[in-house]
Amino acid sequence: MTEKEKMLSGQLYSAVDPELLQELNAVKNIIHRYNALPPSAAAERLAILQHLLGGIGDDALIINQPFYCDYGKQIRLGKRFFANFNLTVLDEAPVTIGDDCFIGPNVSIYTACHSTDPVERNSRREWAEPVVIGNNVWIGGSVTILPGVTIGNNVTVGAGAVVTRDVPDNVVVAGNPAKVIRHIK
């Protein structure tokens, strides 16, 4: 298996593999172009996202600049997606976001995992766990979503929350770590 195949299957892989580093740098160049476009260049921004991302839904797709990701191809966005400024997605594993999702500014979604053991961590070997976000989800500003998390449908994630574990449907979560604070009828 290549290191990329290991990464995509959730196995330990070398994060300093030359093939992966080359792909990361190519995506950084695409992201740089995207972030340098004027806001009025909506068609060109959409064309870049269609090329970069693994899939995008119909209708209005807005990702305000700046936007950052590692690979892009592991990101799939549903219909009528909106993300405010400074969305960061570390997509070493799949990141799937449903329809009608709104993301506030300064949100980070992580799939990359590192060992807590410093010797293992310094080997530059890591693994990745997917993130799934359901339909009709509103993620408030400055939220962090950690690897392996699934957020259900009809969820609101309060500003500043750190989502460390799965979130059921029809709830509001907030805090660090995020906890259910209210059920939605």
Q: Show which residues are catalytic.
A: 114
Per the CB < 8 A criterion, the answer to whether 64 and 45 are in contact is no
Per the CB < 8 A criterion, the answer to whether 138 and 102 are in contact is yes
Give the CA angle between residues 33, 106, 175 to the nearest 5°.
Answer: 160
Q: For residue 107, what are the contacts with CB-CB under 8 A and spacing of at least 6?
A: 83, 84, 86, 87, 88, 139, 141, 142, 143, 144, 145
Q: For residue 5, what are the contacts with CB-CB under 8 A and spacing of at least 6?
A: none
Task: Kindly report the backbone phi and psi dihedral angles of residue 25, in degrees, each rounded to the nearest multiple of 5, phi listed first.
Answer: -70, -35
Residue 113 per-residue DSSP state:
E
